[in-house]
Every structure is written in structure tokens, then in C-alpha cells.
Chains A and B, each alone.
Chain A
């Protein structure tokens, strides 16, 4: 059974800092990995999708990497801003299971 872990559960940084969020998974037979952002009381917004054959994806100040063999993904946020404060979740899609498994998320606070 796939298990997805996100550490730390919470992170607080000053504005302008570069930071890395971590996502690890136990079953490396994934088809892709998706990073989401969730604001309090809201739905999830898709940030980046990395296919299993890719090493990284970039969108603006965000860069996501994937190391399938070691079961790890990172989300790099450059020059953080208070508006980046949210919970970030990762989800891995397993071909054999035909569904996605989500981590519990990392809650990020960027202080002005």
C-alpha cells in the first residue's frame, strides 16, 4: 500500500527566503506526482505535475523535482512572499492502484 509523507508538517520563514518542501513515498511504481496548494477552507489548486519519466518541472518561482528511485520529491519556492502562505500537498498516482494517494501536507507561513 502506498504511503506518502510530508515533513515538516509546518514551516515558518521570513519573507524573501528560498525554501524546500519535501514529499516521500514508499512505492516507487508511480505514474506521476502532483503538487497542490490549499488555502484555508478552500479547494486544492494544482501547482505542478511531474510525470515519472521527468526529473523536474518549473512554473514561475516554483520548481518541483522527482527522484522516483529514492521515492522523493521536493518543491522549491524561490523568494518567498506572504501570499505563498498556505498548505502544500503532494499526491502520487500509482498505475497498479489506479488512484492517487495524498500526503498530509506542509503548512507554510511566510512572515512579512
Chain B
């Protein structure tokens, strides 16, 4: 089945720890995105990548880092510099380019800081 997978589904982090959220897609999409969702709110863009080995900051990139070494993978690291990381994190992908920016989403990872 083609789709986007995120792992883990739930993640607990202690203060001061870095954690990495996984996002994998087998849709052969060029573009991938990371969003953060807080309760009762829409999605805010953290980072996005239009092509392998290239990525851009979104609206709330501070305290986060990403890499895009493979087309199918776009991991997100939440660093200790992120002051309020408890949230629902969603990964998405699209074919890429203007004509192919319809986004498809993974099931999400819920991160809780203890």
C-alpha cells in the first residue's frame, strides 16, 4: 500500500532531551512537510523540503531541525531549545512543483514533555 508512515505514534520526552520523529513515504513524492498542531488550532509549518538534500524553514522552525538525505525520508528532531514541544506533529508529502502540491498526510505523532 502506498502512503505515509510516522513513528512512533506516542512519544514522551524529558526536559533537556532531543528526540527524533520519523516520517517515511513510498509515494515517490518529491516534496515533504512537517507541521505542528496544538489543541483546537490549525496546522503551523515547521520545515519543508521540495527536493532531496534541500529544505527550508517554515513559520515556526526555532528549536527544530530536519534532514533530507533520501527522497522517502524526512526526519524531524525536536531539540531542547524548543520551549514548548508538547503537541501533535504531522508529516505530509506532495508530488512537488506548482501542479503537484496536493498534500497527503501521515497519521501523526503525539509528543508529550514530562
Contacts and interface: CB of A to CB of B under 8 A. Distances in A.
A49 B103 CA distance: 9
B42 A32 contact: no
B106 A104 contact: no
A41 interface: yes
B40 A104 contact: yes
Interface string A44-61: 111001000000000000
Contact of A43 (B42, B58, B98, B108): B108
Interface residues of A, number: 24
A9 B90 CA distance: 21
A43 B27 CA distance: 17
Interface in B67-114: 88, 90, 92, 98, 101-108, 110
Interface in A39-83: 41-46, 49
B102 A99 contact: no
B45 A100 contact: yes
B104 A46 contact: yes
Interface range, B side: 20 to 34
Contacts, number: 53
Contact of A104 (B42, B48, B88, B98): B42
Nearest to A10: B40
Contacts of A105: 42
B103 A43 contact: no
Nearest to A95: B98
Interface in B20-47: 35, 40-45
Given A95-B98, A99-B48, A99-B58, A43 B41 contact: no
Residue in A31, A42, A44, A104 with the greatest tally of chain B CB atoms within 10 Å: A44
13 contacts: A36-B105, A42-B107, A42-B108, A43-B90, A44-B90, A44-B92, A46-B105, A89-B42, A89-B43, A91-B43, A99-B45, A99-B58, A104-B41
